[in-house]
Amino acid sequence: MDDELKAIADSDMDSMFVLPLSIIPLETPALQSAKLIKNVRLKSVVEIFQDVQTGSGQVDIESLPRMFEWPDNQLHPDHGILRRLALLPSYDVYSLRISLREHGIPVNDYSALKLSPDKAAELTKYMIMFTRPLMKMIYADESVNIQTYDDLLKLFRDPDVKKARQRLEQMAQSLNVEIWDVPRFLEDYGDTFLSLSYFRHCLDRLEPYFTSCVDSLKPIRSHFQLRQDAGLMKTCDIIEDTINNISASITGRLEQFEKRTREMWNNLNQEEFRQVKTLIERYHVTIGAALCGLTVKMNSFARNFPRPISGGPVKRADFMASEMIQGIELIRNTEKQYAV
């Protein structure tokens, strides 16, 4: 692979592994501008600052009481909240919506838990897969220009084609809703399809990182000295198996969702819509956890070895044994959850 690998740099609300603490009601002013991030060992730490020149200023959560001079004889409210946040396996917005409520963690504004407009626009090509059957159903014989999901909703809010209006009325009857409620109904489910598009996008962009990382194990295994280290060889096997098995599991689950969505359009009713929505949301946290872990690991690999010629087998072996393998069991454990 000749192309340079670059670290994935999403905005905070689009990220798998960054939680801006500004959305959490905390008492300590300095924490309100900080972030909770997953480090390369998949441990949650507070990032106080981040700069190209100075790097990332990270603080362990258990070191915060001393840093902010919190009382020793009682648990500070912020410390309790951060401990609970640290347990969450992913900080993507879809996992957060579920996990924050389940753990009773307050949020300043739940409406903030959504992807940025730029990211939503970037996912349009994935959304087309879900909207195409809908367009065919309503606008089969008409020429319409759809660039975003919002464009689609506008068509349903004001259908100016006679045939489309008739089909829309039929759709409303199938869904057991009034015709003017169809756009709102589709908007609710559109966010579910957007989550599926987001996870597919995150997995697809990791593919070249997976390939580069697995390829980098070959020189380690063939190195005359390194191949004598049985522990290192086992570490390489675990890393490769984790990448291959977890990415295959996520792919299989997403394909299952996509198949179920296609079937839904053939048997359109409100209950079928609700079942598909529930099925997808049930796996948000599991898929988010796996993708978060893989993204953090691949990001670290890309920063250390952006090109195939970056570092030799010995340096890469040291990285695999000291950085890549740490916390990888957390990613492997998500495999068991896919079988549920």
The ranges assigned to domains in the chain are: 12-114, 115-340
Closest CA to 265 of 143, 167, 154, 162: 167
What pLDDT score was predicted for residue 267?
Answer: 81
How does pLDDT run across 277-320, given as a tens digit for each residue? 899 999 999 999 999 999 999 999 999 999 988 899 999 999 99
What pLDDT score was predicted for residue 34?
Answer: 96
Q: Taking all residues of the chain, what is their mean pLDDT, rounded to a whole number?
A: 89
What pLDDT score was predicted for residue 211?
Answer: 97
- Which range, 147-156, 172-181, 230-239, has the best average confidence (pLDDT)? 230-239
What pLDDT score was predicted for residue 339?
Answer: 55
DSSP 3-state assignment of 20?
A: strand
CA distance 107 to 22: 9
CA distance 20 to 50: 13
pLDDT of 337 strictly over 50 = yes
pLDDT of 219 strictly over 70 = yes
DSSP E strand boundaries for the chain: 18-20, 35-38, 44-51, 55-60
Neighbours of 262 (CB within 10 A): 13
Structure tokens at 219: 């020189």
Q: Look at 97-106, 217-226, 264-273 and tell me which has the smallest mean pLDDT.
A: 264-273
What pLDDT score was predicted for residue 1?
Answer: 43
How does pLDDT run across 153-210, given as a tens digit for each residue? 676 666 666 777 787 788 888 888 887 787 777 777 788 889 999 999 999 999 999 9
Comparing 164 with 59, the larger pLDDT belongs to 59
Q: Look at 11-20, 121-130, 199-208, 319-328 and tell me which has the smallest mean pLDDT.
A: 121-130
Rounded to two decimals, the pTM is: 0.89
What would the mean pLDDT of 74-98 be, rounded to a whole number? 96
pLDDT of 112 strictly over 90 = no
What would the mean pLDDT of 111-140 be, rounded to a whole number? 82
What would the mean pLDDT of 131-156 be, rounded to a whole number? 68
DSSP state for residue 320 in the 8-state scheme: I
